[in-house]
Amino acid sequence: METKQRAPIAALLIAAVALAACGSARGGVDRSGADPRATRTQAPLQRANSPPAAPHPRTGSMPGREKLAKGRFLIATRQVRGPFFGETVIVLLDHSSQGAAGLIVNRPTRMQLAELLPDSAGVGSRKDRVHLGGPVEPHTLVFLIRSDTSPPDAQLVLSDVHVTGSAAALEEVVARDLPASGFHAYLGYAGWAPGQLEAEVARGDWYVSSEKPDVIFDEAPHDLWQRLVRENEGVQVRAPTLRGTAALRHGTVRCGLCSGDTTEEARDGDGGRDA
């Protein structure tokens, strides 16, 4: 069976520069094969000092510590600062030994796609808002499309979500009248050089998580990060001291979740308090 050769992710990320710059719907995928991650990567993250997440006290598992891979989500930890990556949620489009690329999914703008492509047939009647995908190649348009079948010149990211920069794919979206719940347009993307993302994860800058594709098309993107970071944060606990351990054995623990102490001894200030 003859199979269709698809453009590499690197080419898809370069695609549609002409769409944004010239407002032409006849642009296409740049198939030069140049890898934008090699030279087009963002500056190191700004971060604040904060304690690392601790394992969950019951399960012992570390939240947000899944393996980096295409389709995984990066949730910025609270120590990440700066206008671009502070409080961001990113879907990874690609990850390999050559680097990584992704799109910020919770940075919608007030700009509509029709403003960027005023001459594109059918786009003017749509109300799609453009999202800021990242600081790399900010004049590049990238599309995430939710479809059971692969759009033209697209690659699967996760589940039924595909990435493309193809004008033909945009024309198909318009022809099918695909709603905003299944189509997002992004300007720019996030790119990491080899080993750069791994180093940021090791420093505790990102939670790596498997999320449902609904996250990409969430109807409330402005509080998406707050919801996901709470789900992925570890519970900060202190190990009990010897005195605290003895108090536990004698039932004299002071419970911070309760309105009062559990025993008369605790109320006298001698039960379960850390020295």
CB 129 within 8 A of CB 108: yes
Q: What's the rounded mean pLDDT across residues 113-141? A: 93
Residue type, 219: E
**Is 21's pLDDT higher than 60?**
no
Q: What's the rounded mean pLDDT across residues 233-256? A: 45
**H or E element in which residue 101 lies:** strand 99-104
- The residue that leads in pLDDT, 60 or 157, is 157
**Is 4's pLDDT higher than 60?**
no
CATH 3.40.1740.10 positions along the chain are 9-232
Look at residue 235 in the predicted model and tell me its pLDDT.
42
Determine how many CB atoms are found less than 10 A away from the CB of residue 50.
11
CB 133 within 8 A of CB 119: no
With a pLDDT cut of 90, the percent of the chain lying above it is 57
**Is 253's pLDDT higher than 50?**
no
164 vs 8: CA distance, rounded Å: 10
Kindly provide the b/e burial profile for residues 105-143, where b requires at least 16 CB atoms within 10 angstroms of the residue's own CB.
bbbeeeebbbebbeebeebeebebebbbbbbbbeebbbb
Tens of pLDDT, residue by residue over 155-177, are 999 999 999 999 999 999 999 99
105 vs 205: CA distance, rounded Å: 17
Distances (CA, A) of 37 to 31, 41, 48, 171, 187: 15, 6, 26, 28, 16
Residue type, 132: L
Looking at CATH, the fold of the domain delimited by 9-232 is given as: VC0467-like (3.40.1740)
Q: CB-hemisphere CA count at 13 Å for 51?
A: 9
pLDDT band at 121 (very low <50, low <70, confident <90, very high): confident
